[in-house]
Structures are given as structure tokens and as C-alpha cells.
Amino acid sequence: MNVGLSDRIRALARAKYVSPALTAGKRQLTIRVRDLLGDLSTEGFPSSRTPQICSAIQTAKFLRENGLEIEAVDGPPKKVSSTVIVHYRVAEPTAAGAENESAETPDSSGPLEDPSARAMRLTAKLRGLLKEELAAYGGGEAFLRWVRSEDEDAA
């Protein structure tokens, strides 16, 4: 896998779609893989890299760098096609810092989070991470095949 190409994909997606939406004050945006593929082809990007494009704009790195969260991914079941459409929302800018402070410091002026609410919030984050990881491997079955191949190599 060529890391340079993924970086180019993310940079173009940021410049062409994310930055203009954020500058306009939008809270949601959409990136169509077909449109991004067209933009990349004008720069000489290989057209056979559709899976890499789909992956690059859904990675935790892309989301974190741009302050985004994925709302939905439309397209075929494997979510790897030029017909894929990724819907994003702008993440809350203070979500991580404020949640940690309110949950850990009883002296803070904000409302305390009860244990049940904290557990729900943290497990929801874990579910989101697992969902992204499974998607990166092409789904649950592909992830299990990868895990099992690691066990067989070690034996």
C-alpha cells in the first residue's frame, strides 16, 4: 500500500470538500467517491485505486485531522465502490476534553456524569472504534481471517 497516495487523497478531500464546508459554517458535509475520483484523475491519480480512496476518507486519521465524524456511508454492502457516498458531521470541538473533566473532577462547576451515563458514552465510543476497524479490514469476516492468519503464522 502506498502511503503517499493516501495522503494525497486526504489532502485533496480536505482542500476540495472539507475546508470549504467548514469555512461556510456547515455542520454536515458529503463526499462522493466518484467526484473525488474525478478530481484525482485530473492530477494523474490511477483510477484503479477506488478501494484506497474509500478507505482514506473513512480513516480515523482523516476524521481526527478534520474534526469530523461519519454519520453514514451509502453504497454497496462492502462500502468499496465509486458509488460510495460518505456523510460526515462536524464533531463537537470540546467533546473529548469537557467529558473527561466533568467525569473525573467532582469540584468542577459543570454537572457530574453518573456512572451509567459514563459507561454508555464510553461503550458508544468503543463501538465506533470497532466499527471503523472492521470496515478497514473489509468487514467482520475479513477481520477474523486476518486475526486467524496471524495465529497460523506464529504457530
pLDDT in tens, 66-97: 999 999 999 988 888 899 999 999 987 644 44
Q: How many domains does the chain contain in total?
A: 2
Rounded distance between C-alpha atoms, residue 4 and residue 138, angstroms: 21
Tell me the residue range of the domain where 112 lies: 94-155
Pair (70, 106) in one structural domain: no
Rounded distance between C-alpha atoms, residue 31 and residue 106, angstroms: 42
Return the H-helix or E-strand segment holding 68. Answer: strand 68-74
What is the pLDDT at residue 152? 61
Pair (54, 106) in one structural domain: no
CA distances from 92 to 26, 50, 98, 99, 106 (A): 13, 30, 10, 11, 23
Pair (117, 43) in one structural domain: no
Tens digit of each residue's pLDDT (9 = 90 or more) over 26-58 = 999 999 999 999 998 888 887 778 899 999 999
Cell of 145: 481471517
